[in-house]
A and B are shown apart, each in its own frame.
Chain A
Amino acid sequence: MGRFPLTLRSVESDDTIHPHTRSRHAGLLEKIREISGIDVFRCIQCGCCAAGCPTSDYMDYTPAQWMKLLQIGCFSEIAESRGVWTCASCFACLARCPRGIDLAKVAEAVRQIHLRKGLDQQDPARIPEETLRRVPQIAVISCFRKFSS
């Protein structure tokens, strides 16, 4: 699971990383905090979120792993992975987190930072007609809200 060995390094304090990268990482975490209200360093990596997540089996990185990877500066790995896009915004993670962290909001923040660059994950024109006939409109609108800008 995952592509990276998870090491306890804070990007901001690591002198081997270029200051530009360090400040860009700090900026992204600040943006995540602004959008979600969450400081990702509050996560204590207990894993309750991942254990209760109904779609974690279909993710490459589970909610607990997003939090660690964000802490160590791997934003693009999270934004370009399946994990945050497989989230169903069911709030089971928030219900079970002992620190009350709303990971659904963290996932939303990562998605939004990505989508606001124009990197839509869903194109309405490419949804098969058979799907549009099959599913209720509530599902289609929800997808537009979650996967497009």
Chain B
Amino acid sequence: MLLAGTGLGLLVNSLGTRGLDLGRDHFPSRPPAAHQVFTESSPGAAGGSPPPAASTGADRLEPTSAGTEALQPVGGEALAPADDGEARAPATGSETPPASTTPADELDGAVVERLRSKGLQALGLAEAEAWWRDPLTTYEAYLFVDARDDAHYAEGHIPGAWAFDPFRPELHLQELLPLLPSSERIVVYCNGGACEDSENAALTLLAYGADPSHVWVFAGGITAWRAAGLPIERGARGSGELEASTAHDG
């Protein structure tokens, strides 16, 4: 019976459309070594935010539009801890990133610590909204990535967000991959709180060449976004179908 059940399960998994890649680690704990560009002596690393690097940054696979100043390891400007202790990427776009506008108590300390342990940066609701309203989002220099499965994505997502299920990356990778090198900010989210799908998605994007200093995890997720009364788009990306309860403009 064990054999029968095991065999059936493997067969269905291999034939079905919702099968899992059995050999893949769906819960990466850290960014891949090739993208660890910060050394222990960099200011950002002192704050505990970026992971210690095995190299000095010469092994990045994709150049960023910001050049290499974001990747200077020793004594560079790679990451400068903000006043609230969160690391911020240096100004690389058309505007200087705001000094921390996220109230210190908005971000759950446990969530921030969990993200830091994985070498990821946490983003609060205020900044997520500000970046979403920035015109650079329209030009896809700022990307929002929804890390939930397709069903939850269709139920409602941040308008303009790209779907990217980290457990089935092959479904959306071809759409997203070309956008990664030119994106100055990539905001990944899921339900928020204890949901770790956004972290898995962020680490997967890093594995596929995203710049670690450009990837942020929106800690509050769609839950916080919806609770704030911000626009929610239903269906496919760009459908224009907004939830009736949202009062703000998109």
Does chain A bind chain B?
no
